[in-house]
Amino acid sequence: MYSPAIIAEAVVNGLMTGAVYALIALGLTLVYGVLHIINFAHGALLTAAMFAVWVVYEALGLDPYLAILPLTPLFFGMGYAVQRFVIGPASHGNDSNILLVTLGLSIAIENALLAGFRSDTRTLNTDYGFQIVEFGPLLLSKPRLIGFGAAISVTVLLWLLLSRTDTGKAIRAVAKEKFGASLVGIDVAHVYAVTFGLGCACLAVAACLLMPTFYVNPRIGQAFVLVAFTIVVLGGMGSIPGALLGGLFIGVVESLCGLFLGDSLGQIGIFLIFILVLLVRPTGMFGAKA
Amino acid sequence: MTFRDIVPIIVLITLLAFVPVFITANTVLNFLVFTLIIALAAQGWNILGGFGGQFSFGHAAFFGTGAYAAALLQVRLGINPWIAFAIGAVAGAAVGWAIGYLSFRSGLRGSYFALVTLAFAEVLRILANAAAFTGGAAGVLIKLDVRPENFQFESRGAFFWIALALVGAVLVLTRWIERSRFGAQLVAVRENEAAAKALGVDTLRVKLGAITLSGAVTAAAGCLYAQYFLYVDASIAYGTWISVEAILAPIVGGLGTVFGPLVGAVALHGLSEITKLAAGSVPGIDLMVFGGLLVAAVAFAPEGILGLLRRSAQAKGAARHA
């Protein structure tokens, strides 16, 4: 019914989308691994980042790929401040409170964007948005290929940061045993905030990679965040290789489900995987035993 | 539970029942009926989340099941709306039990439970949006046929009384839970599940009971919504908005208290009307305030409005004795 070329193209397209999904999931899994909370504001922060890309493009004419340079540190700083001055103090160290605080933040951010930008869907009109690259028999979208490469690079960079630098060591120490980490002189509140900042920085990069081929409206984050939750749960909460492989896998699943089931039912495959993994093996493929 | 336990509920509901006598403006009654529907949905959430400590982020699954059951049974099968209403609530209980059985059996709690409920609600939304039986994206329209036996009334006051009666019934139910052995076990699960289990509480059975009741109550709110607005679609019935409303009202009003969800729903929707008046018709501004309020409530008033009132009453009492 479907020729191998169409299926191959769907798989490759899925992999390219999946890499950006992985980047979004990376921020989520990092925050989970260290703070042991699910950040429900992740999707709303992604929407905010996508609007930021749109604003700098429209107002300053800044190319989305160049926007990575100013937006990544900006979102790092914002994430740092949000964790340090809002989520941390407001939740009194109680896990279910953190859940509610991030939910509240997500509602506030999403609707602030709705109030500011209205519900119109916006796109960027770059001259390379529709360029394609021929790759053997496959036709691939150039901006998505760039997104794929960049997302993989950022994942590797993040992994290096965590495994090779002192900051990374401190983050891993807090993730393992926060009381012990504080005893050896690590400022736990600072490390929490840095981790949250890194999560937001991932979102800024993901937003810059998405915008040349995607659109933004105030509700767009919801669609991504559920996919990101699925990836994080599938790959194992807190696992970086898990997030990368999970992201690629989910990208392919979504692409194939869309091909076989049509657009309106396409997403259901993701949620069914999500529920199944949660019910059968909530620690995921790479997660440690809970 | 003794009669004295429900006296405050009877007094409150009786007083509220006089509201349509004095206020006949349709906009005000619309607002009140809508607020009561939200309060009912939130009361359902409160049984599981407030007393049981299991935070569901997907109560839309129950609300939507109730709404669709009420609408589809009468439109597609010609069943009397009152009977459809009852079946809707039972369907909500069944969905609650099923979701609870699957997730509690797998030991999901905390964030994982929140996520899995969210996912169930999304699956139902996607299915309802795609299936032909549920009218797809166009939704289901209930035919206008104003007759009391048809659950449609000339005056909005009648709807207000029905919603109020349901809210009152669930207040009594919640009071009973609070006073009963089942309620004590539920609170024990919330406070320390492992300890409760060690003391011989069948935690799975207790949690399943809570989610089943919770599902039935929130589904009843969904049925009422469908019957009042005579229209249901996937993004209304299974949308995240109702999951969020059901969480917000108990937390703002007072988590795990009998009156918390009602107080919270009235306070939130009163505030939302005021913001709309103050800010004009900027979309999202009221929800933006809701989000900020949720953060503020968790940060500064973890026991909600009722907790604040109790504390200020105690402070006044102490000042008088000093």
pLDDT digits (tens, 9 = 90+) for B157-172: 889 999 999 999 999 9
Domain membership of residue A44 (yes or no) is yes
pLDDT in tens, chain A (290 residues): 678 878 888 888 889 889 989 999 999 999 888 888 788 899 999 999 999 999 999 998 889 899 999 999 999 999 999 999 999 888 887 777 888 899 899 999 999 999 888 888 888 887 777 788 887 777 788 888 888 999 999 999 999 999 999 999 999 899 888 889 989 999 999 999 999 999 999 999 999 998 988 888 888 888 788 888 888 888 887 888 889 999 999 999 888 888 887 766 767 778 888 888 888 876 666 554 43
Q: How far apart are CA B257 and CA B47, in angstroms?
A: 9
Do the Cβ atoms of A25 and A203 come closer than 8 Å? no
- B284 contact A CB<8A: yes
C-beta atoms of A99 and B122 within 8 A: no
For A6, other C-beta atoms within 10 Å of its C-beta total: 11
Q: How many domains does chain A have?
A: 1
ipTM value, please give it: 0.83
Instruction: Give B-chain residues touching A96 at CB under 8 angstroms.
Output: 53, 55, 110
Smallest CA–CA distance from B137 into chain A, residue: A264
**A126 located within any domain:** yes
Q: Is A125 within a domain? A: yes
Q: Is the Cβ of B57 closer than 8 Å to some Cβ of chain A?
A: yes
In a domain, residue A106? The reply is yes
Cβ contact B126–A268 (<8 Å): yes
Q: Which residues contact B174 (CB under 8 A, 6 or more apart)?
A: B43, B46, B47, B258
Whether residue A173 is contained in a domain is answered as yes
Q: Closest-CA residue in chain A for B300?
A: A90
Q: Which is nearest to A48 in space by CA: A190, A216, A189?
A: A216
Residue type, B93: A
pTM: 0.88
Task: Answer yes or no: are the C-beta atoms of A101 and B298 closer than 8 Å.
Answer: yes
Contact B204, B104 (CB under 8 A): yes
Q: Show the domain range for A129.
A: 19-220
Closest CA to B246 of B112, B98, B64, B89: B64
Indicate the length of chain A as a whole number.
Answer: 290
As beta bridge partners, residue A134 has: A139
The per-residue pLDDT for range B52-105, each reduced to its tens digit, is 999 999 999 999 999 999 999 999 999 999 999 999 999 999 999 999 999 998
SS3 A68: helix
Its CATH class, for the domain covering B3-321, is mainly alpha
Q: What's the pLDDT score for residue A82? A: 93
Q: Is residue A256 situated within a structural domain?
A: no
Q: Does residue A216 fall inside a structural domain?
A: yes
Cβ distance of B119 and A119 shorter than 8 Å: no
Set of chain B residues whose Cβ sits within 8 Å of the Cβ of A271: 119, 122-123, 126
CA distance A194 to chain B (A): 21
**Disruptive mutation site among A38, A106, A107 for chain B (greatest number of B CBs within 10 Å):** A107
> Is residue A165 classed exposed, middle or buried when 0-12, 13-18 and 19+ CB atoms within 10 A define those classes?
exposed
Selecting from A37, A97, A111 the residue whose C-beta is nearest the C-beta of B284 gives: A111
Read off the tokens for B221: 């709110």
Tell whether A287 is covered by a domain: no
The CA distance from B58 to B238, in Å, is 9
Query: How far off is chain B from A86, nearest CA to CA, in Å?
Result: 8
